[in-house]
Amino acid sequence: MNTINYTQDYQVAKLTFNRPEKMNAFNMQMAKQLEEIISKIKADPNIRVVVLRGAGEVFMAGNDLLEFYEEFETFSAEALSIIRYFNSTILALREMEKPVVSIVHGLVTGTGMSLMLASDLVIASKATQFSLGFNRVATTPAGGVSFILPRLVGSKKALELLLMSETFDAETAYSYGLINWVIPPEELNEKVSSTINYLVNGPSLAFAQTKQLINSSWQNKVTTQLELEAESFLRSVNSRDFKTAVRAFVNKREPEFEGR
């Protein structure tokens, strides 16, 4: 059984975590499949948008602790392998030029939060509940959470969310800057469709450059970042999409971008 359903719709890669009977809890099989799929997507120039979702009632309820319990004797030896697969996935999500959109609902905890935070945009159903949850089961954060979370909410709030592992709702997650949109359940599919449609038909070269600039700004000095912006802007104005956008503006019509 595939723990992840993967489909490609036009230029959109859609991944659905597919262990609904386990609340899509993360395990070794899922770690391997996810790393393999994301690696292929990153290298595929025809894919312009990546979408992550969860089957069933939740997005992802952390790690599969029952499976870990059943393999107590060997799990410590396998734990590093799972982390390596997962870290490779997180890095690919952050570094790939394509926008990554997570559609979350039900419950998002632990590893699910890692994947959500590694995404570029997050659309949440209004009823979604969130928790970092790592310390609750006596583990430390994984999948880049200790890097991304404090940069979004500050060190003190990050420590509060991690140490206390309290559950919070979608409006709170929005106020912390962890998600982009809070949508009523009955309007979720419409919002997802409009967002994906905008991204897949947009200026993908400019999107890719913008994503790289935002990610690099966390480490760079302002002088370095200004130079990177200048280089990116020059690449943009030499693109066919820029010329298309200018012509469309002058002629008062919507541009049809080619992504180059």
DSSP E strands, the chain:
4-9, 12-17, 49-54, 60-61, 100-104, 107-109, 121-125, 129-131, 168-169, 181-183
With bands split at pLDDT 50, 70 and 90, how would you rate the model's confidence at 51?
very high
**Residue whose token pair is 């180059």:** 260
Q: For domain 204-250, which architecture applies?
A: Orthogonal Bundle (1.10)
Give the per-residue pLDDT at 72: 64
Sheet containing 12-17: which strands, arranged edge to edge? 4-9, 12-17, 49-54, 100-104, 121-125, 181-183
Q: Is the pLDDT at 70 greater than 90, yes or no?
A: no
Q: What is the pTM of this model?
A: 0.94
Q: Give bridge partners of residue 232 from the DSSP assignment.
A: none
Question: 4-200: which CATH number, 3.30.70.120, 3.90.226.10, 2.60.120.260, 3.30.1700.10?
Answer: 3.90.226.10
The whole-chain average pLDDT of the chain stands at: 94
Give the per-residue pLDDT at 184: 98
What does the domain layout of the chain look like in residue ranges? 4-200, 204-250
- Judge whether 4-200 and 204-250 match in fold: no
With bands split at pLDDT 50, 70 and 90, how would you rate the model's confidence at 62?
confident
Residues in the chain: 260
pLDDT mean over 214-230: 94
According to the per-residue pLDDT averaged within each range, which of 35-44, 77-86, 137-146 is highest?
A: 35-44
Q: Which of 208, 207, 86 is CA-nearest to residue 145?
A: 86
